[in-house]
């Protein structure tokens, strides 16, 4: 019996069983759909996170005041610590000078940040202000200008504002050269940034020279910083440079690992931690989805066992006509594999719909804007490898489920099978 004949005979038997075959296939459909949806949403979410964290700069290290010893991303290697201690602004210009001497450091920017009152056309609000070194900030920032220019060294009462500050905060949009009152002092807008969104976005920030931020932000004293950002010469040196900075600061500040009053983090370490968490969650959810595949496999095995019992006489006739044990085995394996294939194809289609629905809901919840103003678009990532894996896995499940019934059918003796009623 040729394989084409076996395939046609198997399809004919499946169509003859009708509803029973479809109910069996439906178990595979649910399992494959769940696996495809979970894996595609998990991969898509990680891509979005990577894209958003990429906007922070892969070669950027941040030193913050206060020791992160829990639920924080502290330490040069990005390990999760245990508790967060003081938030005192204890980073100073001396620390900036020390960090500049560490090998691998390209730029260092001491940042002063806080919320201050802002007034424009009798409308008052509170916005985030960030004081930076103009020359260093221009070299380190990943934010692009929508109009105007970046800050220059020696700028007085000049600011650069984020997209949302310019377009969404006040009743009238803010334009270049518009004057607004920030913290009781007049400032002229010299630049407006493009829409950024995501982690570390500047949409709701006002950027000004650090010298003037010390006078505006009351929570930070002169020559102290809310944080220090460091750009290394090469992204591959982030961990090594973080370790070197940590060791140098501990020596200069006379603290140890257990008593240090600052924390060091990077977008790489944060991304690694988030990826680890999402991978664990994906694995857990995929395990749950695999239970559906197991149930589907049991359903196929049960259907094939019933088929052997119902078609015992037919098997006897086939063997009497010269059909070999191998051909009988292939006949049943082909039937179960076809059920797995159909279940896999339908499961992939249903998984696309499910992941697309989850993506649409997720995008509506977290927003639709990515770095640089680009749309996030989707939280799913469906690759050809995932499709091939789903199809291959469902066919394999079907074949394995039909293996024992196929061997049982092949073991039937022709004489006994023909006598079976």
Distance CA 144, CA 192 (A): 9
What integer is the mean pLDDT of 351-356?
83
For residue 77, name the pLDDT band (cuts at 50, 70, 90). Answer: very low
What integer is the mean pLDDT of 237-241?
86
Distance CA 281, CA 46 (A): 12
Tell me: pLDDT of 283 over 70.
yes
Distance CA 129, CA 272 (A): 29
Tell me: pLDDT of 382 over 70.
yes
Distance CA 140, CA 107 (A): 7
Tell me: pLDDT of 87 over 90.
no
Residue 379's φ and ψ, nearest 5 degrees, are -105, 15
Element (H, E) at 120: strand 105-120
Tell me: pLDDT of 85 over 50.
no
Quickly count: other Cβ atoms within 10 Å of residue 173's Cβ.
Answer: 12
Who's near 50: CB < 8 A, 6+ residues apart? 271, 275
Distance CA 13, CA 78 (A): 59
For residue 322, name the pLDDT band (cuts at 50, 70, 90). Answer: confident
Residue 92, both tokens: 């100073």
What integer is the mean pLDDT of 242-257?
90
pLDDT of residue 362: 65
For residue 96, name the pLDDT band (cuts at 50, 70, 90). Answer: very high
Distance CA 297, CA 255 (A): 60
> pLDDT tens digits for 147-176?
999 999 889 899 999 999 999 899 999 999
Percent of the chain with pLDDT over 70: 75
Quickly count: other Cβ atoms within 10 Å of residue 369's Cβ.
Answer: 18
Tell me: pLDDT of 253 over 60.
yes
Residue 368 near residue 265 (C-beta atoms within 8 A)? no
pTM of the model: 0.58
Q: Residue 125 forms beta bridges with which residues?
A: 118
pLDDT of residue 162: 92
pLDDT of residue 228: 93
Tell me: pLDDT of 24 over 70.
yes
Q: What is the mean pLDDT of the chain?
A: 78
Element (H, E) at 265: strand 262-266
Candidate ranges 7-16, 25-34, 140-149, 309-318; pick with highest mean pLDDT: 140-149
Tell me: pLDDT of 406 over 80.
no
pLDDT of residue 408: 73
Tell me: pLDDT of 119 over 90.
yes
Who's near 394: CB < 8 A, 6+ residues apart? 28, 32, 293, 340, 341, 343, 344, 347
Residue 65, both tokens: 């005041």
Straight-line distance from the first to the last Cα atom of the chain, in angstroms, rounded to the nearest whole number: 26
Residue 22 near residue 29 (C-beta atoms within 8 A)? no
Who's near 11: CB < 8 A, 6+ residues apart? 338
Tell me: pLDDT of 65 over 50.
yes
């Amino acid at each position: 019996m040729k394989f084409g004949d076996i395939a046609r005979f198997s399809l004919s038997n499946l169509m003859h069983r009708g509803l029973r075959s479809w109910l069996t296939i439906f178990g595979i459909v649910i399992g494959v759909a769940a696996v495809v949806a979970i894996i595609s949403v998990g991969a898509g979410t990680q891509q979005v996170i990577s894209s958003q964290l990429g906007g922070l700069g892969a070669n950027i290290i941040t030193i913050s005041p206060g020791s992160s010893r829990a639920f924080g991303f502290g330490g040069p290697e990005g390990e999760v610590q245990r508790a967060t201690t003081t938030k005192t602004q204890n980073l100073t210009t001396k620390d900036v000078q020390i960090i500049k001497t560490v090998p691998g450091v390209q730029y260092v920017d001491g940042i002063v940040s806080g919320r201050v009152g802002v007034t424009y056309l009798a409308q008052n609000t509170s916005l985030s202000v960030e004081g930076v070194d103009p020359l260093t900030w221009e070299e380190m920032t990943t934010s692009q200008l929508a109009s105007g220019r970046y800050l220059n060294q020696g700028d007085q009462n000049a600011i650069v504002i984020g997209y949302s500050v310019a377009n969404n905060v006040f009743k009238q949009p803010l334009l270049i050269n518009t004057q607004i009152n920030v913290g009781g002092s007049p400032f002229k807008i010299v630049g407006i940034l493009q829409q950024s969104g995501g982690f570390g976005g500047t949409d709701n920030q006002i950027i000004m020279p650090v010298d003037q931020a010390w006078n505006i932000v009351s929570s930070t004293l002169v020559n102290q910083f809310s944080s220090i950002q460091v750009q290394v010469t090469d992204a591959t040196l982030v961990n090594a440079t973080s370790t070197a900075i940590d060791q140098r600061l501990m020596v200069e500040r006379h603290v140890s690992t257990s008593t240090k009053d600052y924390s060091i983090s990077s977008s790489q370490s944060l991304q690694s931690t988030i990826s680890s968490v999402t991978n664990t969650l994906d694995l857990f959810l995929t395990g749950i989805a695999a239970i559906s595949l197991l149930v589907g496999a049991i359903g196929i095995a049960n259907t094939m066992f019933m088929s052997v019992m119902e078609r015992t006489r037919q098997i006897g006739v086939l063997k009497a006509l010269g059909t070999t044990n191998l051909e009988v085995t292939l006949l049943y394996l082909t039937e179960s594999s076809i059920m797995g294939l159909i279940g896999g194809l339908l499961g992939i289609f249903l998984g696309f719909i499910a992941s697309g629905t989850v993506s649409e809901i997720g995008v509506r919840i977290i927003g639709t804007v990515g770095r640089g103003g680009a749309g996030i678009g989707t939280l799913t990532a469906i690759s050809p490898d995932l499709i091939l894996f789903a199809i291959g896995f469902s066919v394999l499940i079907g074949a394995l489920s039909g293996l024992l019934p196929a061997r049982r059918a092949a073991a039937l003796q022709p004489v006994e099978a023909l006598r079976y009623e």
